[in-house]
A and B are shown apart, each in its own frame.
Chain A
Amino acid sequence: MELHDVWFVLIAVLWTGYFFLEGFDFGVGVLTKLLARDRKERRVLINTIGPVWDGNEVWLLTAGGATFAAFPEWYATLFSGFYLPLLLILVCLIVRGVAFEYRAKRPEEKWQTNWEHAIFWTSLLPALLWGVAFGNIVRGVKIDAEMEYVGSLGDLVNVYSVLGGLVTLTLFTFHGAVFTALKTVGDIRDRSRRLATSLGLVTAVLALVFLVWTQVSRGDGKSFVAVIVAVLALVAALGFNMVGREGWAFALSGVTIAAVVAMLFLTLFPNVMPSSLNEEWNLTVANASSSPYTLKIMTWCAAVATPIVLLYQGWTYWVFRKRIGTQHIADAH
């Protein structure tokens, strides 16, 4: 296995980490409107991710930085090509981060309501847009011989990519509902579980169509295994959720996300961004990667740092392991 193949896998791992962790953050953001009945319940939901959302978001920055370092051509083509959708995602991430931190800093009703609207929309939009973006990457976009994206904004909106977006949106919301069922107590926990069941069924239908479509058009044996894993894990997550085994349900909704990401990356390989104009112009792990020396340094860094990151992020989840309910939210502000 060459180093640029290793880095393809590592970048897939970083995106998996991002979607696993930020997936339920986005889901919780969407649930603040779907699930919570009043402000206090909304605050319970927001506080389930309070101490961890910032660290979860760094997985995206790391995936971006690692792509820049390991596959500069990919980084350049992707972010200059998907310019306006990325701009929208960035605006959402900016507003969302500020919304979490500032919402409770003033007591006024209007102030808090505005930030709560912001949390909902800035969680929903990136959850949708990341799926659209990955749908387009897998499907192939108009890339010319100079590795430049030459399509328009409209080219990024098509049935397949929008379906991809709906899959990530529903999957993340399901993942979020399973997460809040795991992290809360009382009435809100029961409602989370019930909502997770219906969200899971919608997700299952959409994901099945999307995965079969992807498998039929560009899959192979390995990606088929990923499809099977994704479907089984989703069904099992639904089952565990219904019988109230929330830890298992959450782990398995995470496995579903990992399997979907794995499926997408498996169908990409050895390309990183195929061209829909001419196969000769595909960006591949070979023609988009950095030099062996850079990849070697980066491999050392990732090999040393990643386990440590997992260790202390895992510890954070352990520190805040207790479930929370409305009684844990102070009345002030």
Chain B
Amino acid sequence: MDLALAPETLARWQFGITTVYHFLFVPLTISLAALTAGLQTAWVRTENDKYLRATKFWGKLFLINIAMGVVTGIVQEFQFGMNWSDYSRFVGDIFGAPLAFEALIAFFFESTFIGLWIFGWDKLPKKIHLACMWMVSIGTVLSAYFILAANSWMQHPVGYRINEERGRAELTDFWLVLTQNTALTQFFHTMTAAFLVGGAFMAGISAFHLARRKHIPVMRMSLRVGLVTVVLAGALTAVSGDLLGKVMFKQQPMKMAAAEALWDGEAPAPFSIFAYGDVDAGHNKVAIEIPGLLSFLANDDFTSYVPGINDVNKAEQEAFGPGDYRPNIPVAYWGFRWMIGFGMASFGIGLLGLWLTRRKFLLPPGLRTGDDEAPRLVLFRNKALSPRFTKWYWIVALWTMAFPLIANSWGWIFTEMGRQPWVVYGVLRTRDAVSPGVSQGEVIISMTVFTLLYAVLAVIEVRLLLKYVKAGPPELTESDLNPPTRIGGDDKDADRPMAFSY
């Protein structure tokens, strides 16, 4: 069958599209849940109105976003059985467990408490209402942990044995599946990258309003929270990325060799800045490199040996029989670079922003501004940036919102496509995992339906976000400032309109 329409190819495209789409909403949900909970905590502790307005503003954007995260996630739960039934049969004994744990422990948690938070403003005393938001945040993080443990098992299967009689993999050590270093480092890296998304989102939108001199007290504070999040998360993303890289060099040398377009093993191995090559012939035509850096990234040693694509391919052919064990090299190579490039760019722009808007005590008195004035951007000691450069920084900060999303997507595309042709590394090939009973026509229908539906919903979501971003933080009402004192709402409010209704 023509490869472009082979069931495996179609099913891969569908899974790729739906998963990348899902993961546009996930990191923003994870980070905004925690950031909103943090802002609400600040309000409960200080009773300063600006924190409540910020909570309502970022909370609204969070809700618009999580709605899409939830519904795109539903598809993921069933897609394994629909398109990848042979995979589900082979690994269900292991892979199903973290999924079921995720639903029982995390999904129930977040979906129940999000309902309490949305509708609970006039039904719950404020500390209990705040606790609900923290529960949502914990739920999102737990959910990420379980699903990443499941994915990590596909990257590096542990704690299992092959049952020849039943023709499947069986779980022997669940604790190992949950705590192997692949799962822990991947979780660490994904969490830090998620907070990079949320931080950049907050900083970008705050920059948008500050550039227009609107909603200043709330946005000034939000900008700071966003920038600090970007810088902390960016630094930790680099650290966790390095850790994850070292794990990958040991567990999936092919993926890392492909990421570097390193065709033949070298000692010391160089880090590639730019490469252009011939995949069939297995070498680069153009290569700009930093000597020894790849050895260091792989083994903490500038002179060590790193195996190349051709070496690993040969080793896997000897181990698993004839075949091509190379992933799509350009996708792996460029995916890796886009991930690092966009991630680091947002970190750099965040760091610059943090310096430009530094605290009052680091500024000369003439350049200090009050809490209800937009901050002056100050690069050098005694001189504020000109209006033109100030405007440029706000514009750049606004566009930087997109950078971590791009980095996240490419990071996942690299992780997943770098593992091909395996679906479970070294155990099950992707082409052996598709549903034998599902026809080409059916996959084409579902792929078309999901792609179109998701595209339409994405347009709707972005326009809604824009509307609410432009509207800015809401003015507070009487009932916002007088939260109920008893669970279920105070009796005197019995006939008042609900604080929130669909």
Contacts and interface: CB of A to CB of B under 8 A. Distances in A.
A64 B103 CA distance: 9
A106 B460 CA distance: 11
Interface residues of B, number: 76
B81 A55 contact: no
A300 B359 CA distance: 52
B502 interface: yes
A54 B99 contact: no
A72 B88 contact: yes
Interface in B475-502: 487-489, 494-498, 501-502
A75 B107 contact: no
Interface residues of A, number: 78
Contact of A47 (B86, B89, B168, B501): B501
Contacts of A205: none
Contacts of A329: 497-498, 501
Contact of A97 (B67, B100, B487, B496): B67
A86 B78 contact: yes
A321 to B, nearest CB: 6
B444 to A, nearest CB: 12
Contacts of B379: none
Contact of A98 (B71, B81, B107): B71
A51 B97 contact: no
B108 A290 contact: no
A77 B85 contact: yes
Given A80-B81, A324-B498, A306 B104 contact: yes
Nearest to B460: A102
Given A298-B97, A319-B488, A291 B171 contact: yes
A50 B68 CA distance: 17
B89 A51 contact: no
B437 A149 contact: yes
Contacts of A91: 449, 453
Q: Which of A61, A291, A306, A313 has the most chain B CB atoms inside 10 A of its CB?
A: A61
Contacts of A297: 97, 171, 174
Nearest to A75: B81
A245 to B, nearest CB: 22
B116 interface: yes
Interface in A272-317: 290-291, 293-294, 297-298, 301-302, 305-306, 309, 312-313, 316
A46 interface: yes
B92 A290 contact: yes
B435 interface: yes
B64 A64 contact: no
B182 to A, nearest CB: 20
Contact of B64 (A69, A101, A147): A101
B208 to A, nearest CB: 20
A295 to B, nearest CB: 9
Nearest to B68: A98
B116 A316 contact: yes
Interface string B422-465: 00000000000001111000100110010001000100100010
Interface string A39-76: 00001001100111111011001101111111111011
B344 interface: no
B123 interface: yes
Interface string B48-87: 0000000000000001100110111011011011110110
B478 to A, nearest CB: 13
B497 A68 contact: no
Contacts of A148: 85, 436-437
B72 A54 contact: no
Given A76-B81, A98-B457, A54 B89 contact: no
Nearest to A88: B449
A178 B438 CA distance: 41
B77 A64 contact: yes
B95 interface: yes
B63 to A, nearest CB: 7
B163 interface: yes
A72 B163 CA distance: 15
B108 A58 contact: yes
B85 A90 contact: no
A79 B78 contact: yes
B501 A43 contact: yes
B264 interface: no
A294 B111 contact: no
Contact of B464 (A102, A290, A322, A328): A102
Contact of B100 (A66, A86, A100): A66
A122 to B, nearest CB: 11
Contacts of B8: none
A322 B97 contact: no
Contacts of B446: 83-84, 87
Contact of B82 (A43, A83, A305): A83
Given A65-B103, A94-B71, A318-B488, A293 B172 contact: yes
Interface in A135-155: 146-150
B96 interface: yes
B119 interface: yes
B93 interface: yes
A106 B464 contact: yes
Contacts of A313: 108, 112
Nearest to B434: A80
Contacts of B435: 76, 80
A157 B75 CA distance: 24
A55 B115 contact: yes
Contacts of B33: none
Contacts of A208: none
Contacts of B496: 328
A199 to B, nearest CB: 24
A247 B271 CA distance: 70
A14 B436 CA distance: 29
A281 to B, nearest CB: 14
Nearest to A111: B460
Contact of B111 (A57, A100, A106): A57
Contact of B74 (A67, A90, A147, A306): A90
Nearest to A313: B112
Interface string A92-127: 011101101111111000000000000000000000
B80 to A, nearest CB: 7
B101 interface: yes
B225 interface: no
Contacts of B502: 43, 46-47, 50, 100-101, 103-104
24 contacts: A51-B119, A54-B112, A64-B81, A65-B99, A68-B99, A69-B100, A77-B85, A79-B78, A83-B82, A84-B442, A87-B449, A90-B74, A90-B75, A93-B71, A146-B436, A147-B89, A293-B171, A293-B174, A298-B97, A305-B108, A318-B487, A319-B123, A327-B495, A329-B497
Given A61-B77, A79-B82, A84-B446, 6 more contacts: A50-B118, A70-B96, A94-B457, A291-B93, A291-B171, A321-B488
Interface of B: 63-64, 67-68, 70-72, 74-75, 77-78, 80-83, 85-86, 88-89, 91-97, 99-105, 107-108, 111-116, 118-120, 123-124, 163, 168, 170-172, 174, 435-438, 442, 445-446, 449, 453, 457, 460, 464, 467-468, 487-489, 494-498, 501-502
Instruction: Please provide the 8 A-B residue pairs with the shortest distance between their CB atoms, ordered closest to farther.
Output: A72-B92, A79-B81, A69-B96, A68-B96, A101-B67, A76-B85, A51-B115, A80-B85
